Structure 1
Amino acid sequence: MRTIIAIWHSADMGKSATIRAFANLLITTFPDFEPITPVPPNVPPNGDFILVVRINGVVIGITSQGDPGTGLENRLMNLADNHECNIILCSTRTRGETVIAVDRVAGRRGYETIWTSTYQIAGEANQRIVNGLKARHLMDLVQTLGLL
């Protein structure tokens, strides 16, 4: 099953940090992964990024930038068409062009979509903790569904 996992929330609510935590968890959980882009693989400590890896024959594409006006639909199409991703993880806002972009790509390229959001908790230190927890929950989801 080709799947897009979209983490949606309003601005500055931990979407990119959660995706970064998932990407780091993914490459440490599966150290024999094959990097596709970038080579060498890079999950920067700050800012947005794209990462594509192959694990056990499954291509996973991750894009953290999900703000309006940033070309999310084009990035998703690139992951679907040029990298032939089985799983795409991305961030979106809660409505508008980024949500429409996910729906369009899913519909045009035959992906199922799983919509989820970040956990919210008071305090920056606690937010980092729950972002890591959400990343682990996403890993459990992917593995339990047999996607990876």
Structure 2
Amino acid sequence: MMVSDNSLSEMFEPDFDTHWRSFFLYRDGELQEASGYQLDHLFNDVFPVFRKAYQSFCAAHEFGRILDILLPEGEVKEQLRTAALSGASDVKMVDDDSQLKLGEIFEPYLDGWLLQEGHIQQITDCYELQEVSGSEKAETFFCLGAAFCRYSSSAVFGTEWESPQILRG
């Protein structure tokens, strides 16, 4: 693998704009076509030094799909995306203004503490869950709920004593 110093640095500390094909791959001295290998295999098996960063990037992008249907571009979306990649945040969203801003974003998707039927359908479509079993669908919704609950923890947007309430619910 031949990769620039900048691309290599990005691959070890990816963000949402990291390009995972910014390298030249050689096998027995011959340049390989990009269609001749899968990135999952390459970064998980062939070059395991990238495994953790690549898997974190993929998980954040998978979670990012729900952020794309929920949030307009802006500061809150960027903070949520960044936290999805790093698993932490220095930004705390427990003050009144932050709580109100989060409420304005998420309350339209809720009916009390339940997701509105229309939003359930949006998530089902976004994650292509129309044909999966009920247990697979439940697992996806559970994981998404757990991710939002994590956002309310002190590691991300909460503090030891306070949490962004709408994310916890």
TM over 0.5: no
Greater helix share, 1 or 2? 2
Higher relative contact order (CA 8 A, sep 6+): 1
Q: TM-score, normalised by structure 2?
A: 0.25
Q: Larger radius of gyration, structure 1 or 2?
A: 2
